[in-house]
Amino acid sequence: MGFEFWRAYNMHMVYFNGFINSTTRDFDFEKWEGYETEALNRYAFQFIDQCGDEPFALFLSPHQPHGTPFDYAPERYYARLPERLELPPNVPERMRGLKGERQNPWSSYRNYLAMTLALDDMLGELLDRLEARGKAANTIVVFTSDHGTQGGSQGIPFWTKKRPYEESLRVPCVARWPGFLEGGARRDFLHAPVDFFPTLCGLCGTPIPRTVEGRDLSAAWLGRPGAGEQESVFCMNFGSQHDWYDDGDEWRGVRTKTRQFTRWLDGREELFDLANDPLQTRNLAGEPAWREEQAALERMLAEHQARRGDTLAPCSSYRAWVDSQRRPIRNAFGPLSDPEGEPDWSLLYPA
């Protein structure tokens, strides 16, 4: 896979005194002491220090703030939280009264925020390390997430993901590159996870491999006048990890700056006016006044699917190789395919 330094784990949610695989071999464990964010930072510092003056790429992926059946965060982070928390108004009353540590949105929200504070400290310490090693000025740092959590909104359990709603779809994107990215500036454009790799290639002046899906949005990141933006992004869920007995969650959608349109496997459709209804409380799909706009969004969705050869069907994805068990690097479904045989994703968005 190209990794020269690899410290990772999967399939456990032990945040205190846990363990990682210190090589790509299964069951080659190395235990850590303390809380996970502190342990992963120690590994990150080790890698940064051993790189010396050489360029490096570091992917640091803590599991927080995922839910866990064990302890969530050190007590010091709970002590920093306000005594009273407020849930969004789109969390219905029936969700607010649920019992249990993982089901009750109030306790889950407190755990979520405590873990988020731990992440904040982790990132701050990482930035301090880069500064101390003289690397901060020439290092691009990006903070983001792979997904959000429903948090009880829309009447969906707190820790649920993979839903076509803002709480699940919309994630943070904070970038730092002194002298190039303006500090404190905000950018308002659509950005999908597949755009990160080509965008970072663009910022670094590195050619983008033809097998990489996504757009180079580096000009928009830099705030250059006339930087191209995408009108919409493609959203999808291709089913749960155990598709063979639990399908039906499949959906495809299209997101513009102000609209979200979704079609589910069972034929349900949802259309939300995000400009006037950011909490997505009123489904406008099928309403006569929105017929033309819905038709336009349906055409956008059809175009996204056609470009990818995608079909909304049970347990389906437009990518030929999907690691549904998410076992990193260890090839759960056999060897990865030869990159030369992969589609030319550079043709996805013709110039």
For the chain, what is the domain count? Answer: 2
What is the percent of the chain where pLDDT is above 90? Answer: 67
89 located within any domain: yes
103 located within any domain: yes
Cα(239)–Cα(315) distance, integer angstroms: 5
Distance (Å) of CA 242 to CA 248, 313, 321: 11, 15, 16
> What is the tens place of the pLDDT at every residue in 199-244?
999 999 999 988 888 999 999 999 998 887 899 999 998 765 554 4
Please identify, among 103, 133, 163, the residue that sits at the C-terminal boundary of a domain: 133
In terms of residue numbers, what domain contains 67? 1-133
Report the CATH number at residue 246.
Answer: 3.30.1120.10
- Mean pLDDT throughout 297-324? 81
Confidence tier at 91 by pLDDT (50, 70, 90): very high
- Omega prior to 65 cis, within 30 of 0: yes
DSSP 257: S
29 located within any domain: yes
164 located within any domain: no
Least confident window among 22-26, 104-108, 194-198, 293-297: 22-26
Q: What is the pTM of this model?
A: 0.89
Same domain, 124 and 240: no
Report the CATH number at residue 45.
Answer: 3.40.720.10
Cα(129)–Cα(237) distance, integer angstroms: 38
Cα(200)–Cα(82) distance, integer angstroms: 37
